[in-house]
């Protein structure tokens, strides 16, 4: 198959590559860009382990081919905080509330959580639970994850933290 040129912005940096037309966005992120925080879980858009933000909205990167993201702004878990900088408040909340065990689902959960907080800046437990509906965790259950999202939302609303009306 003939490779096709692809350009996008990933975590604030322009990226250009040649990809086969059938390359999934998740594979492009992991294999070509070596950003391995985005996980491949089910390949059917059911588990949420591959959740990223594309043009400011959470998507499951296993559900689209990379060429569909041409010229898009992509944010992965690695782009939430600069290298050496403190973790993003949502990442800190996941750690503080023990909302992870094996960690496989965590990047997708965090990216989905940011999308929830963007829609509901002070979410209820029900809004968080509903928003996480498309993300699976087989280790923790969801109580601590919901607690973490609510805590992260609160921390993000405090003075000194960027508004979720724009990407972190």
Share of the chain above pLDDT 70, in %: 95
Q: What is the pLDDT, as a whole number, of residue 1?
A: 72
Is-above-0.75 flag for pTM? Answer: yes
Residue whose C-alpha is closest to residue 130's, from 155, 157, 112 = 112
User: Please, what is the Cα angle at 154 between 83 and 40, to 5 degrees?
Assistant: 50
pLDDT of residue 84: 87
Angle of helix 89-96 relative to helix 143-157, nearest 10 degrees, comes to 140
Tokens of 84: 């050496």
pLDDT value, residue 134: 87
**Which domains does the chain show, CATH number per domain?**
4-79 (3.10.20.30), 89-157 (1.10.150.120)
Q: How far apart are the first and last CA of the chain?
A: 37
Mean pLDDT of 78-94: 93
C-alpha to C-alpha distance for 50 and 137, rounded to whole angstroms = 13
Closest by Cα among 73, 71, 56 to 6? 71
Residue 30 structure tokens: 């992991």
Mean pLDDT calculated for residue range 120-134: 95
Residues in the chain: 168
Say which residue the tokens 């909340």 belong to: 93
- Angle at 148 (CA atoms; ends 145, 149), nearest 5 degrees: 90
């Amino acid at each position: 198959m003939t490779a096709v040129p692809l350009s996008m912005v990933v975590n604030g940096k322009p990226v250009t590559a040649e990809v086969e037309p059938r390359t999934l966005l998740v594979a492009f992120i992991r294999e070509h860009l070596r950003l391995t925080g985005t996980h491949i879980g089910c390949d059917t858009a059911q588990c949420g382990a591959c959740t990223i933000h594309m043009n400011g909205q959470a998507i499951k990167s296993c559900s689209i081919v990379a060429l569909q993201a041409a010229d898009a702004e992509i944010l992965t878990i690695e782009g939430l905080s600069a290298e050496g900088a403190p973790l993003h408040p949502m990442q800190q909340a996941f750690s503080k509330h023990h909302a992870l065990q094996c960690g496989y689902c965590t990047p997708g959960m965090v990216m989905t959580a940011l999308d929830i907080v963007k829609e509901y800046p002070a979410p209820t437990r029900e809004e968080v639970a509903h928003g996480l509906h498309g993300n699976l965790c087989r280790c923790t259950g969801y109580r601590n994850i919901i607690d973490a999202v609510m805590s992260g939302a609160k921390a993000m609303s405090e003075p000194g933290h960027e508004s979720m009306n724009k990407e972190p």
